[in-house]
Amino acid sequence: EIVLTQSPGTLSLSPGERATLSCRASQSVSSNYLAWYQQKPGQAPRLFIYGASSRATGIPDRFSGSGSGTDFTLTISRLEPEDFAVYYCQQYGSSPPLTFGGGTKVEIK
Partner 1 sequence: EVQLVESGGGLVKPGGSLRLSCAASGFTFSDAWMTWVRQAPGQGLEWVGRIKSKTDGGTTDYAAPVKGRFIISRDDSKTTLFVQMNSLKTEDTAVYYCATEFGGVMTFWGQGTLVTVSS
**Which stretches of the chain bind partner 1, using CB under 8 A?**
33, 35, 37, 39, 43-47, 50, 56, 88, 90, 92-93, 95-103
In sequence order, which residues have a C-beta less than 8 Å from that of residue 86 and are 6 or more positions away? 38, 39, 40, 103, 104, 105, 106
Q: How far is the CB of 107 from partner 1 (least distance, A)?
A: 15
* CB-count exposure of residue 31 (10 Å: 0-12, 13-18, 19+): exposed
Q: How far is the CB of 97 from partner 1 (least distance, A)?
A: 5
Nearer to partner 1, 13 or 56 (CB): 56
Nearer to partner 1, 83 or 101 (CB): 101
Count CB neighbours of 52 within 10 A: 24
Nearer to partner 1, 50 or 63 (CB): 50
Q: How far is the CB of 15 from partner 1 (least distance, A)?
A: 25
Nearer to partner 1, 67 or 103 (CB): 103
In sequence order, which residues have a C-beta less than 8 Å from that of residue 95 and are 6 or more positions away? none
